[in-house]
C-alpha cells in the first residue's frame, strides 16, 4: 500500500513538474529538468505494470532502467553551484549538504542498475521468493559476492541486497524511494 502511494505521488508530482516548471528554463537548469522529466515518464510507464494493472514486460523495464541509468550517471554535474534561480526547483540545501545529495545520486544509479538486472525476474506476486529484509533500506554500490557478477547493495540492517534475485517491483520501489527521498529533501514543490 505504501509503495503504491509513493509511486502515485511521484508520478503525479513529476507530471505536474513537466507541465508547468519548464517554462523559461535554459542551460543546465533545462537539462536537469528534461532529465527529471524523462525519468518521470519512465516511472509513469512502469507504475501500472509494477502494480499488476498491465502485463509485465521485461524489455520495457530494461528500457526504463536505461533511462534512469543514463540520467543518474553524472546527475550531480547538472547541479553546479548557483544554478538555483527560477524556474529551478532546486533547494539551496543541495549545495550546503552536497555529500547527502551526491550520495542519493549515487544511490539512484545503483538502484537503476539493479532494476536492469532484476527486469527478468518479474513481479513479486508472480512467485519471486525473497528473504526477509531484502528489499528494505538504503543501498550503496558494491561488488559481486563469492565470484558472482550480481549487483549488490547494502540494506539498512547491514545485510546485503542482491538485485539479481530481487523481483523487478522491489528494485523499482528502490528507484522510486530514492527519487522521493531526494525530492523531499532537495526540491521545492512545483506550484
Report pLDDT digits (tens) over 143-168.
332 233 345 555 544 444 688 889 99
Per residue in 12-32, pLDDT (tens digit) is: 555 444 444 456 778 899 999
Which of 68-72, 82-86, 120-124, 156-160 has the least mean pLDDT? 156-160
Q: How far apart are alpha carbons 144 and 43 in whole angstroms?
A: 27
Q: Which residues contact 137 (CB under 8 A, 6 or more apart)?
A: 154, 155, 156, 157, 161
Q: Return the CATH fold of 2-127+166-186.
A: 1.20.120
Spell out where the chain has E strands: 152-154, 160-162
Q: In angstroms, rounded to a whole number, what is the distance separating the alpha carbons of residues 89 and 116?
A: 29
Task: Choose the weakest-confidence range: 11-25, 50-64, 80-94, 173-187.
Answer: 11-25
State the number of CA atoms in the 13 A half-sphere of 96 facing the CB.
7
pTM of the model: 0.72
Return the C-alpha cell found at 68.
Answer: 534512469
Q: State yes or no: cis peptide before 11, omega within 30 of 0.
A: no
Domains of the chain by residue range: 2-127+166-186
Tens digit of pLDDT for each residue in 75-117?
999 999 989 888 999 999 999 999 999 999 999 999 999 999 9
Collapsed DSSP state (helix, strand, coil) of residue 142: strand
- Cα–Cα dist 31/154, whole Å: 31
Render 58-110 in DSSP notation, one character per residue.
HHHHHHHHHHHHHHHTTGGGG--TT---TT--B-THHHHTHHHHHHHHHHHHH
Q: What are phi and psi of 118, to 5 degrees?
A: -85, -10
Amino acid at each position: 500500500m505504501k509503495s503504491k502511494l509513493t509511486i502515485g505521488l511521484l508520478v503525479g508530482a513529476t507530471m505536474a513538474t513537466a507541465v508547468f516548471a519548464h517554462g523559461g528554463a535554459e542551460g543546465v537548469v533545462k537539462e536537469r529538468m528534461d532529465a527529471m522529466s524523462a525519468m518521470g515518464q519512465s516511472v509513469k510507464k512502469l507504475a501500472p505494470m509494477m502494480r499488476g494493472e498491465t502485463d509485465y514486460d521485461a524489455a520495457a523495464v530494461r528500457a526504463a532502467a536505461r533511462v534512469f541509468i543514463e540520467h543518474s550517471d553524472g546527475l550531480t554535474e547538472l547541479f553546479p553551484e548557483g544554478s538555483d534561480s527560477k524556474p529551478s526547483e532546486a533547494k539551496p540545501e543541495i549545495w550546503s549538504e552536497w555529500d547527502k545529495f551526491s550520495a542519493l545520486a549515487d544511490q539512484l544509479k545503483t538502484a537503476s542498475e539493479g532494476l536492469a538486472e532484476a527486469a527478468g525476474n518479474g513481479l513479486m506476486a508472480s512467485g519471486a521468493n525473497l528473504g526477509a529484509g531484502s528489499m528494505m533500506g538504503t543501498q550503496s554500490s558494491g561488488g559481486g559476492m563469492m565470484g558472482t557478477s550480481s549487483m549488490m547493495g547494502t540494506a539498512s540492517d547491514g545485510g546485503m541486497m542482491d538485485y539479481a534475485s530481487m523481483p523487478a517491483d522491489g528494485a523499482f520501489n528502490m528507484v522510486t524511494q530514492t527519487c522521493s527521498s531526494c525530492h523531499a529533501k532537495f526540491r521545492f514543490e512545483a506550484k
